[in-house]
Amino acid sequence: MKFLASAATLMLLAGCAHWFGPAHGTFSVLGFTPESSACVLSVGGTDSSSAPRTWTVSGNFEQRVLINPSRKGHRVTLTCSGALVAERTFEYGRDVAPGGNLSL
């Protein structure tokens, strides 16, 4: 009987794991900058009070990113010469798979 109760509890918890999504992980942001100018790529949570992570990119780029969990999703932006060139919100594990690519 204890085994049956333990198995049922484990199955319920495993089913609920889908709603929490992946804890953290890596993926790659793919894109290009206008006229091969140096730009700033920024990735962070949409609801996060902490500063997003930033990288300087130019030309065609592929930037590997490690992100922390965020229930409200994440935002990636590309800024060149102070002007916002591209912006995209996404949910890690849904819009981009762990280890996958996200086109900007």
Task: Assess if residue 55 is contained within a domain.
Answer: yes
With 80 as the cut, is the pLDDT of residue 44 above it? yes
Give the total number of structural domains in the chain.
1
In a domain, 3, yes or no: no
CA distance 52 to 97: 20
Is residue 11 situated within a structural domain? no
Is residue 25 predicted with pLDDT exceeding 70?
yes
pLDDT score for 2: 72
Q: How confident is the model at residue 24 (pLDDT cuts 50, 70, 90)?
A: confident
Express each pLDDT in 74-85 by its tens digit.
999 999 999 999
pTM of this prediction?
A: 0.74
Residue 62 lies in a domain: yes
Residue 49 resides in a domain: yes
Instruction: Confirm if 29 and 62 have CB atoms less than 8 A apart.
Output: yes
Whole domain around residue 87: which residue ranges? 22-103
- What is the average per-residue pLDDT within 1-10? 67
Q: Is the residue at 97 inside a domain? A: yes
- 8 lies in some domain: no
CATH number of domain containing 94: 2.60.40.2560
Whether residue 12 is contained in a domain is answered as no
